[in-house]
Amino acid sequence: MNQLVTLFLFAFIIPALPTYAQNKIKFSDIKAGMRNEGIERQALWLANERATNLHWLAEYKKAKIISDKWQVVGSDPEEPICRIIHIELYCEKQDGDCEMSDFTFREKFKDGKYQHKLLFLNAGDFIHVDCE
């Protein structure tokens, strides 16, 4: 019987421990790339608007730009299509859990300049994190 318990521990529980430990992260541990409070405020507003429209039971509270710089999209340097940026967003759900996700936003290039208005492009998977 002891051998069966030991086998069970090694086969199922022990391999899961590092996975659990590596997922115990905090939003505050995420390293910021560039910093811009205006962009982060826009990202929070857009994420909360999206959450409301999609009936997500969550409120985004914190944003951190994780891109070091804007990524320009387009083959012509004089007339790019847009530029994109990655921002990590932290939310608190109504059930008391907290999550974060990598959102990608873009800014259009029009009339020789960037529009300085973020547009939602993509959201990554939600990762459960410690609440802060």
pLDDT band of 24, cuts 50, 70, 90: low
Which of left, alpha, beta for 74 (phi over 0: left; psi -120 to 50: alpha)? left
Structure confidence at residue 3 (pLDDT) = 55
Of the pLDDT bands very low, low, confident and very high (cuts 50, 70, 90), residue 17 is very low
What whole-number distance in Å separates Cα of residue 82 and Cα of residue 74?
Answer: 7
Taking residue 119's Cβ as centre, other Cβ atoms within 10 Å add up to 13
Q: Which two tokens stand for residue 119?
A: 């547009």
Query: Hey, is 107 helix, strand or coil?
Result: strand
Q: What is the residue extent of each domain of the chain? A: 27-129
At 75, is the pLDDT very low, low, confident or very high (cuts 50, 70, 90)?
A: confident
Q: Examine the pLDDT at 121 and tell me if it is beyond 90.
A: yes
Q: Which residue has the tokens 């429209």?
A: 53
Q: What is the mean pLDDT of residues 112-125?
A: 93
For the question of whether the overall pTM of this predicted structure is more than 0.85, the answer is no
Query: In this structure, which amino acid lies at residue 80?
Result: P
DSSP 8-state symbol, 16: H
List, in order, residues 6 or more apart from 125 with CB less than 8 Å away: 101
pLDDT in tens, 33-61: 999 999 999 999 999 999 999 998 999 99
Residue 77 has a pLDDT of 79
39 vs 70: CA distance, rounded Å:
12
